[in-house]
Copies of this chain bind each other. A is one copy, B any other.
Amino acid sequence: MSIQKPSLPKGTRDFGPLIMSKRNYILDTIKSTFKLFGFQQLETPSMENLSVLTGKYGDEGDQLLYKIVNSGDFLKNVRAEDMMDGSHRVLPKIAEKGLRYDLTVPFARYVVMNRNDITFPFKRFQIQPVWRADRPQRGRYREFYQCDADVVGTDSLICEAEIILMIKKVFKELKLTDYSIKINNRKILTGISEVIGEPGKESELCVCIDKLDKIGWAKVQEELIQKGFGEESISRLEPIIHLPKEDKFSYMADFLNLSAVGLQGLKEVKDVYELLTMSGASEEHLDFDVVLARGLSYYTGAIFEVKVNNVSIGSVSGGGRYDNLTGVFGLEGVSGVGFSFGVDRLYDVLEELNLFPQDSLETTAVMIAHFDQEGLGYGLKVLSFLRSAGICAEIYPESAKIKKQFNYADKKNIPFVIIVGSDEISSGKVTLKDMKSGIQTLLTLEEVSKILKG
């Protein structure tokens, strides 16, 4: 057997210890915030029946689903004619299962299958990998984590307000200060399409407006004309695109005056602002953006998007309210609101802004170095003492040269080394070396324990 150099599938990654500890810093912050707000964790299987996944993400999404070959003689139902017809004909006969494409469809399936046991409103969060057979590129992977929180079974705008509070809390914990939480409401977009004289065309309007940041107003106008919007409609739309920062609410109240649904959307945004004020939260970071659309025809009420300013990939979170989560599985009337953090993007943002705190990274607090059998015996007792005190500690497993042992601690970013030699043993103390400053001090175990517990 020739031995092959092993490799990773394209678009996938190993997360070694340093990266894991940074990822855990982000995920633990998000998780504890979700819990602080009363959300409960759900995990669903990586594999779903293709009948559950197919048709939920559009034709392109179906193409990007990873399918799993049936076990055993997977060709048994495939006939020669199927082969002639090509892959699309053969696929359903050889693959029944696929990998999770997002966390929303599995959540909807879970709600439908457990509807009699779930207490609504159901506040769930879910942090798991998803898979997409997409072309890999910078920042886009074939396996990546999603991080969703949703409340289903209530129309209360308190949920929208709490999503904003959670985003603020997570960003505060991560020391991110320069960011905007954009908020809008799908009903406002519907209202706008009504008052500019193009009722019922808000989907097209959304698709075009969604590109405003990327292609600019001139190009958006061209696209609107291509989509059949009249010139008069477009000129009626223009003031909205260049809305003044001040008095947005009163300006929009005038603008949407003739659209009941538009005014309803405006009221909902105002109510969310009011709930935030009642909660004692400031309006800092909030940005009511009447052209925020997020391209998804899926949302029916609130729409959120969070952008970190002055970094290369800014959009790190988004979400909104939807009317019908579970309709595709035959259960009507389950509405809700949810949002998602992009963990990989947050990682890149924190890296770019140098915001990962050195001292919160997971590492052993102290390593014990020893040089002979007697030192080992003493070292093992010191080790037990420290671990009993809850201090993450390890002993170098061999009586190696001091340089080798220090090098190990250094490479592993262990901040302190305890040195156990004959002087230490006879005095009943230990020498603690601060690896950064190089300073060594002879101390009692209690003193060491105090220092290491910070």
**Contacts from A to B (Cβ < 8 Å):** 1, 3-9, 12-17, 20-21, 24, 35-38, 40-49, 51-52, 55, 63, 66-69, 71-75, 78, 80, 83, 86-87, 90-91, 94-97, 99, 109-110, 112-114, 117, 119, 121, 123-124, 129, 131, 133, 142-143, 151, 154, 156, 158-159, 169, 275, 278-281, 328-330, 362-364, 367, 376-377, 380-381, 383-384, 387, 390-395, 397-398, 407-408, 411-412
Minimum CB–CB distance from A388 to chain B (whole Å) comes to 9
Name the one of B377, B391, B398 contacting A156, with C-beta atoms under 8 angstroms.
B398
Whether B45 lies near A14 (C-beta < 8 A) is yes
Whether A3 lies near B69 (C-beta < 8 A) is no
Whether B362 lies near A35 (C-beta < 8 A) is yes
Chain B residues near A3 (CB-CB < 8 A) = 328-330
Whether B329 lies near A6 (C-beta < 8 A) is yes
Name the one of B12, B17, B24 contacting A124, with C-beta atoms under 8 angstroms.
B17
Whether B9 lies near A97 (C-beta < 8 A) is yes
Q: A329-B3, A329-B6 are in contact. Are A38 and B69 (CB under 8 A)?
A: no
Whether A14 lies near B44 (C-beta < 8 A) is yes
Chain B residues near A37 (CB-CB < 8 A) = 387, 392-394
Chain B residues near A73 (CB-CB < 8 A) = 86-87
Whether B67 lies near A42 (C-beta < 8 A) is no
Beta-carbon nearest neighbor of A379 in chain B = B278
Can you pick out 25 interface pairs between chain A and chain B where the beta carbons lie within 8 Å of each other? A5-B329, A7-B113, A8-B48, A8-B113, A9-B45, A9-B48, A15-B41, A15-B43, A17-B42, A20-B41, A37-B392, A37-B394, A38-B364, A46-B143, A47-B142, A69-B69, A75-B90, A78-B83, A80-B80, A119-B408, A151-B397, A156-B398, A278-B380, A279-B381, A279-B384
Minimum CB–CB distance from A364 to chain B (whole Å) comes to 4
Whether A362 lies near B40 (C-beta < 8 A) is yes
Bound complex: CA A376 to CA B274 (Å): 12
Bound complex: CA A3 to CA B108 (Å): 14
Central interface residue in A9, A117, A159, by most chain B CB within 10 Å = A9
Beta-carbon nearest neighbor of A113 in chain B = B6
Bound complex: CA A88 to CA B156 (Å): 56
Bound complex: CA A357 to CA B66 (Å): 40
Whether B113 lies near A45 (C-beta < 8 A) is no
Chain B residues near A94 (CB-CB < 8 A) = 69, 94
Chain B residues near A280 (CB-CB < 8 A) = 380-381, 384
Bound complex: CA A20 to CA B128 (Å): 13
Q: Which 10 A-B pairs have the closest CB atoms?
A: A38-B394, A17-B40, A156-B397, A12-B45, A119-B411, A3-B330, A38-B364, A71-B133, A20-B41, A15-B43
Minimum CB–CB distance from A413 to chain B (whole Å) comes to 10
- Contacts A3-B329, A20-B43, A67-B69 supplied; 17 other A-B pairs, CB < 8 Å: A3-B330, A6-B113, A8-B48, A14-B45, A14-B113, A15-B41, A46-B46, A46-B143, A73-B86, A73-B87, A78-B83, A80-B80, A123-B394, A158-B397, A159-B397, A169-B387, A278-B380
Whether A362 lies near B41 (C-beta < 8 A) is yes
Name the one of B41, B63, B328, B330 contacting A17, with C-beta atoms under 8 angstroms.
B41
Q: A38-B392, A69-B91, A392-B36 are in contact. Are A83 and B83 (CB under 8 A)?
A: yes
Name the one of B69, B83, B114, B129 contacting A80, with C-beta atoms under 8 angstroms.
B83
Bound complex: CA A237 to CA B390 (Å): 46
Q: A42-B20, A51-B4, A392-B38 are in contact. Are A75 and B86 (CB under 8 A)?
A: yes
Chain B residues near A169 (CB-CB < 8 A) = 387
Chain B residues near A279 (CB-CB < 8 A) = 380-381, 383-384
Chain B residues near A44 (CB-CB < 8 A) = 14-15
Chain B residues near A24 (CB-CB < 8 A) = 41
Whether A75 lies near B83 (C-beta < 8 A) is yes
Chain B residues near A278 (CB-CB < 8 A) = 376-377, 380-381
Central interface residue in A1, A49, A117, by most chain B CB within 10 Å = A49
